[in-house]
Chains A and B, each alone.
Chain A
Amino acid sequence: MSQQRMRVQGRAEDGLGPNSDIGSRLRALYGAVQDEGVPEQLLDLLEKLDSAEQAQTTKHVQHGGE
């Protein structure tokens, strides 16, 4: 039996499957937040972290590593 199938079965037994009231309401709430998209400031942060890292890498390369 595949792990995936066991997962789905487990979920259904626990009443959180596709036909469950609680499961679908949970997913409706969760999905509503997910669908809001990611705030600008978080995207900016990731960009900054990434470019800081690239700049550092470049510097290291220029100085022949550390």
Chain B
Amino acid sequence: MEAEAPSFKREMLATLPSLRAFAVSLTGKHDKADDLVQDTVMKAWAKQSSFEMGTNIKAWLFTILRNEFYSQMRKRGREVQDSDGAFTERLSVHPSQYGSMDLQDFKKALSQLPDDQREAVILIGASGFSYEEAAEICDCAVGTMKSRVSRARTRLQDILKISGEADFGPDAVSTQVTTSNHSF
């Protein structure tokens, strides 16, 4: 009898870390991201009857969060541009993976992208969505999503002056340290 709701809750719980990472990439701030995730959780909970168990809850939650973010932005007339967007603060990335300078540069480059390109490259490159799913989340055509990602990538490469494939990669840096087991 208690099976239904707890399993919706469980699925939601499993998605929260990724949803929160996406929220940080949109807001650029952890406190704002947490507020946004909280609003999203409440919205989603209220709408749970419209969600079909067994379908893609992750895409569903990302859609709600993204809509919530842009509707809040519109209401506030973008007066809250106190962030540069995209992971601007409080990020501790495991030092064995990249030099911190390198990721600082990368964050800065990400923040220079137009909003639509940044979210596209994050949804595809980091959240793990297919183009079809990402297009649905952003309410645009699949072709549009593809071109946003491609423009974002080109732009990032220009800014960072790096080439497409691994002239720099985990291998070059980490071969010597891979023996010490680093989790993340």
Q: Please count how many residues in chain B sit with their CB below 8 Å of the partner chain's CB atoms.
A: 56
Instruction: Report the bound CA distance from A7 to B146 in whole Å.
Output: 12
Question: Chain B nearest CB: distance from A54 CB in Å?
Answer: 7
A65 located at the interface, meaning its Cβ lies under 8 Å from any Cβ of chain B in the complex: no
Are B20 and A33 in contact (CB-based, < 8 A)?
yes
**Interface SS, A side:** helix
* CB of A20, distance to nearest CB on chain B (Å): 6
Cβ contacts B47-60/A at 8 Å (1 or 0 each): 00000000000000
- CB 8 Å contact bits of A10-31 with B (1 = contact, 0 = none): 1100111001111111111111
Does B13 contact A22, Cβ atoms closer than 8 Å? no
Residue in contact with B42 in the complex, picked from A32, A35, A49, CB distance below 8 Å? A49
**A14-B150 contact, Cβ under 8 Å, with A29-B126, A30-B21:** yes
Question: A41-B38, A42-B41, A45-B38 known; A14 and B169 CB under 8 Å?
Answer: no
Q: How far is the CB of A6 from chain B (nearest CB, A)?
A: 9
Q: List 18 A-B contacts (CB under 8 A).
A: A3-B130, A14-B150, A19-B166, A21-B165, A25-B102, A28-B93, A30-B25, A31-B21, A31-B184, A33-B21, A33-B24, A34-B21, A41-B34, A42-B16, A46-B13, A49-B9, A49-B42, A49-B45
Q: What residues make up the interface of A, taking CB atoms closer than 8 Å to B?
A: 3, 7, 10-11, 14-16, 19-39, 41-43, 45-46, 49-50, 53-54
